[in-house]
């Protein structure tokens, strides 16, 4: 990855050098950004997953939350908190940390002039590459989360350790730990490409057309405001792009679909249903989630003296 002595190096082009310490701090920022936010909206996720796998019973966000609370109590709204927190912490570590690594790597491969000219392609390639590894870490825990959240009350353990043990014991049926990897990649790679590309582009637009002075001249509060707004708008795009694959991941955990292929489930459900069931809830969830993820990530980076992400 290292550039030859005397040649331009993307790792040294920013306000701080991108060394091992920089990448490690970005990984920690990713843990905080994804673990906290995903775990914090567990009730929305529980409602969304149940709306996807049983739309006849769970119809609409508020009615679904009320029904879940009535049938299973407040604990039912927080099912899957453990695997969500751990899984998305690991995913965030690789998603954000490796994005910084791959972005610099592809920039150095392209060279100084081409890396500027083709910056959007570098954003897309870097985010896609990072997500491949992020999903390998997430997949076993995502499968566990979906099984916990969509199983009928009393039919599957809800405690984190017991759920993992049961998933392993029934791996012939559940296809644990990587049975959902392909649909997860199908959901997360386009999602992450959209998330990082749209975020970087919107930040660039803000600092080109709205805040036209040098980025460093604005207060950290203003910079973080740009971060949150850009993240929220990027999240709305992400939700729409990745929703059909997200529906498939949820449907794979449904008992009636045991043993069925992804193609069969998609055909039986229909593309319209895959693309629209639970979409409104997911747009709210992912927009807010993505906005806060970028805000937490950039707040942590700024506190470490690394500056906020993106710019002209």
- The predicted-structure confidence for 77-99, as pLDDT tens digits, reads as follows 999 999 999 999 999 999 999 99
Asked if 236 and 281 touch (Cβ cutoff 8 Å), the reply is no
- Which pLDDT score is estimated for 287? 87
Residue 193 lies in a domain: yes
The stretch 267-272 carries a mean pLDDT of 86
The sign of the torsion formed by the CA atoms of 148, 181, 90, 64 equals negative
CA–CA distance, 34 with 231 (Å, rounded to integer): 13
C-alpha angle with apex 175: 174 to 176, nearest 5 degrees? 85
Domain count, the chain: 1
Give the CATH number, domain containing residue 78: 1.50.40.10
Q: Residue 118 pLDDT more than 80?
A: yes
- Matching residue, tokens 């386009």: 190
Other beta carbons within 10 Å of 260: 15
Q: How confident is the model at residue 291 (pLDDT cuts 50, 70, 90)?
A: very high
Residue 59 lies in a domain: yes
C-alpha angle with apex 68: 63 to 72, nearest 5 degrees? 155
The stretch 263-287 carries a mean pLDDT of 85
Q: How confident is the model at residue 187 (pLDDT cuts 50, 70, 90)?
A: confident
- Which pLDDT score is estimated for 6? 62
Interval 130-148: pLDDT, tens: 999 999 999 999 999 999 9
Nearest to 1 by CA among 23, 16, 27: 23
What is this structure's pTM? 0.83
Interval 212-226: pLDDT, tens: 999 999 999 999 999
- Calculate the CA 144 to chain-centre distance: 17
Residue 2 lies in a domain: no
Q: Residue 3 pLDDT more than 50?
A: no
Interval 173-186: pLDDT, tens: 889 999 999 989 98
Residue 264 lies in a domain: yes
* Residue 154, Cβ density class (10 Å: 0-12 exposed, 13-18 middle, ≥19 buried): exposed
Q: How confident is the model at residue 254 (pLDDT cuts 50, 70, 90)?
A: confident
Residue 240 lies in a domain: yes
Q: Residue 201 pLDDT more than 80?
A: yes
The sign of the torsion formed by the CA atoms of 63, 64, 67, 69 equals negative
Q: How confident is the model at residue 4 (pLDDT cuts 50, 70, 90)?
A: very low
Using alpha carbons, list the distances in angstroms from residue 175 to 85, 146, 179, 292: 22, 13, 4, 33
Interval 224-243: pLDDT, tens: 999 999 999 999 888 888 88
Residue 122 lies in a domain: yes
The stretch 1-25 carries a mean pLDDT of 83
Q: Domain span at residue 205?
A: 17-303
Residue 8 lies in a domain: no
Q: Residue 244 pLDDT more than 80?
A: yes
- Which pLDDT score is estimated for 115? 95
- Which pLDDT score is estimated for 2? 44
Can you read off the two tokens belonging to residue 204?
Answer: 């660039």
Interval 147-172: pLDDT, tens: 999 888 889 999 999 999 999 999 98
Residue 286 lies in a domain: yes
């Amino acid at each position: 990855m290292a550039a030859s002595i005397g040649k331009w190096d993307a790792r040294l082009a920013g306000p701080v050098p991108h060394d091992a310490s920089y990448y490690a701090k970005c990984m920690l920022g990713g843990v905080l950004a994804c673990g906290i936010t995903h775990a914090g909206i567990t009730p929305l996720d529980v409602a969304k997953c149940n709306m996807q796998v049983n739309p006849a019973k769970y119809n609409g966000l508020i009615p679904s939350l009320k029904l879940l609370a009535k049938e299973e109590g407040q604990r039912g709204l927080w099912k899957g908190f453990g695997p969500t927190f751990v899984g998305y912490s690991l995913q965030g570590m690789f998603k954000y940390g490796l994005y910084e690594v791959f972005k610099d790597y592809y920039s150095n491969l392209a060279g100084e002039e081409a890396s500027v000219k083709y910056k959007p392609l570098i954003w897309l390639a870097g985010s896609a590459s990072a997500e491949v590894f992020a999903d390998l870490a997430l997949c076993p825990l995502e499968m566990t989360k979906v099984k916990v959240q969509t199983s009928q009350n009393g039919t599957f353990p809800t405690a984190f350790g017991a759920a993992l043990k049961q998933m392993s014991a029934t791996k012939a049926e559940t296809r644990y730990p990587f049975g959902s990897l392909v649909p997860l990649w199908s959901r997360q790679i386009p999602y992450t490409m959209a998330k990082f590309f749209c975020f970087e582009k919107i930040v660039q637009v803000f600092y080109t057309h709205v805040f036209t002075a040098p980025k460093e001249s604005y207060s950290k509060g203003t910079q973080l405001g740009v971060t949150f707004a850009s993240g929220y708008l990027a999240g709305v795009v992400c939700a729409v792009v990745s929703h059909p694959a997200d529906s498939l991941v949820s449907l794979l955990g449904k008992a009636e679909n045991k043993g069925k292929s992804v193609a069969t489930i998609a055909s039986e459900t229909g593309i319209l249903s895959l693309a629209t069931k639970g979409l409104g809830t997911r747009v709210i969830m992912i927009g807010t989630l993505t906005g806060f993820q970028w805000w937490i990530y950039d707040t942590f980076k700024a506190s470490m003296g690394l500056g906020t992400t993106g710019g002209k």
